[in-house]
Amino acid sequence: MRVFVRIAILPSAIWCLAAPNAACAHAIIVSSSPAAGATVSGDAVAISLHFNSRIDRARSKLTLLAPNGAAQALTPAADAPADELKAEAARLSSGAWHLRWQVLSVDGHITRGDIPFIVH
């Protein structure tokens, strides 16, 4: 009986050691465009957020906050890879902007953040 229990537990132990982040796959930004603190030129900005895991795009949100505090919801592109959010922002005036994001990761957890950038 003890041998059977050890054999049954062994695959689980190996999985936990080999993939310690599998059970905690919160979506974390790996890279963004614009990057936090970046200065961009022009009145149109291509937005791209790359995460460390797949996200549920239908339950994700992108909100652009203007220098005056006005909020504008952005629609994520449907054809982006499963671990990315992409959108286009147009008619941006000069000043300090914030991209507020919220995503639902495959582990069922919501993560959110804020990316400040400057339009010049």
Please name each of the domains of the chain with its CATH number: 25-119 (2.60.40.1220)
- Structure confidence at residue 24 as a pLDDT band (50, 70, 90): low
Under DSSP, is residue 101 helix (H, G, I), strand (E, B) or coil? strand
Over the stretch 26-66, which tens digit does the pLDDT of each residue have? 899 999 999 999 999 999 999 999 999 999 998 999 999 99
pTM: 0.78
- Structure confidence at residue 107 as a pLDDT band (50, 70, 90): confident
pLDDT at 64: 98
- Note whether 117 and 89 are within 8 A (CB): no
In 12-66 the beta strands, taken as DSSP E runs, fall at: 29-33, 39-40, 45-51, 55-65
- Structure confidence at residue 25 as a pLDDT band (50, 70, 90): low
